[in-house]
Amino acid sequence: SQTIHQWPATLVQPVGSPLSLECTVEGTSNPNLYWYRQAAGRGLQLLFYSVGIGQISSEVPQNLSASRPQDRQFILSSKKLLLSDSGFYLCAWIASASTDTQYFGPGTRLTVL
């Protein structure tokens, strides 16, 4: 069966510090991978998606970036965090077929102080 992992689970970082969040998927090959952010009391905002190694598409302009160094690894990064980067970051995956369901990882709660 497929499993998706995210770490860390929670993170408190000062403004201006760097960020690296990791997501890995087990039990599947060549998944589509997604990064979402959910601010407090708000819906999910799609940040990045990837259809393969090294292929990243950005949905919104921001100071975040994403990378996919391996088939089942998706990384979200920032060089300098802003207060507005606080939120719940969720990684999601689907198999490549268009009818598949999107499943979410457990999430990382980021607080920028």
Partner 1 sequence: GQNIDQPTEMTATEGAIVQINCTYQTSGFNGLFWYQQHAGEAPTFLSYNVLDGLEEKGRFSSFLSRSKGYSYLLLKELQMKDSASYLCAVRVTMIYNQGGKLIFGQGTELSVKP
Q: Closer to partner 1 by CB, 11 or 44: give it.
A: 44
Q: Closer to partner 1 by CB, 72 or 105: give it.
A: 105
Minimum CB separation of residue 49 from partner 1 in Å reads 6
Considering only CA atoms, which of 8, 62, 59, 3 is closest in space to residue 34? 59
Q: Which residues bind partner 1 (CB under 8 A)?
A: 32, 34, 42-46, 49, 51, 57, 59, 90, 94-107, 109
Minimum CB separation of residue 53 from partner 1 in Å reads 15
Q: For residue 35, what are the β-bridge partners? A: 48, 91
Q: Closer to partner 1 by CB, 15 or 104: give it.
A: 104
Burial 85-104 (b: 16+ CB within 10 A, else e): bbbbbbbbbbbeeeeeeeee
